[in-house]
Amino acid sequence: MSNNTNIDKEWDVFVSHASEDKDLIVRQLADILEKLQIKIWYDEFSLKIGDSLSKSIDEGLQKSRFGIIIISKYFLAKRWTDYEYRSLLSKEENGFTINLSSANLFSSSKN
């Protein structure tokens, strides 16, 4: 049974994040997903010199089947990430299912 809603999808997943989180987690996550042969829209892989940032992000949001959102204090402080978050949530309103899960990726050694 084919799903026509996925015909125009270029990427399996869109990675939404704040640039401050790249070094700590996002770049490593993107590399792992790529090694698993998951087609991802990630700015460092998808943007090219001369691309319009907003057009490219909009295309990535539209042509991705799923989204991964890296929520951090930096993510929550930015307007652009809020736009990406709301765009991914709007997919749910158009017949897509959104599953929210969290992972504690950082543990504190302070007592």
Decide if 104 is inside a domain: no
Q: What's this model's pTM, rounded to 2 decimal places?
A: 0.72
CATH number of the structural domain spanning residue 68: 3.40.50.10140
Q: Percent of the chain, pLDDT > 90?
A: 24
In a domain, 77, yes or no: yes
Question: What distances in angstroms separate CA 61 from CA 73, 85, 91, 110, one per listed residue?
Answer: 22, 10, 9, 38
Q: Which residue among 20, 84, 92, 93 is the active-site one?
A: 84
Answer whether residue 37 is part of any domain: yes
Q: Which domain holds residue 46?
A: 10-93
Burial 66-97 (b: 16+ CB within 10 A, else e): bbbbbebeebeeeeebeebbebbeebeeeeee
Q: Read off the pLDDT of residues 57-80 as tens digits, 9 standing for 90 and up.
A: 888 888 888 888 888 899 989 888
State the total domains in the chain: 1
What tokens does 20 get? Answer: 């401050």
More reliable by pLDDT, 101 or 29: 29
**In the structure, what pLDDT confidence band is assigned to residue 109 with cuts at 50, 70 and 90?**
very low
Burial class (CB in 10 A: 0-12, 13-18, 19+), 5: exposed
- Classify the phi-psi angles of 62: left when phi > 0, otherwise alpha if psi is within -120 to 50, otherwise beta: alpha
Q: How confident is the model at residue 46 (pLDDT cuts 50, 70, 90)?
A: confident
Are the CB atoms for 70 and 60 separated by under 8 Å?
A: no
**84 included as an active-site residue:** yes
In this prediction, residue 98 carries a pLDDT of 53
In a domain, 111, yes or no: no
On the question of pLDDT at 2 being above 50, the answer is no
- Residue 40 pairs in a beta bridge with 13
Residue range 18-26: average pLDDT?
91
Residue 99 lies in a domain: no
Q: What is the pLDDT of residues 85-108, one digit of tens each?
A: 888 877 665 555 555 555 555 544
Six-digit token string for 27: 């770049």
Q: How far apart are CA 82 and CA 50, in angstroms?
A: 24
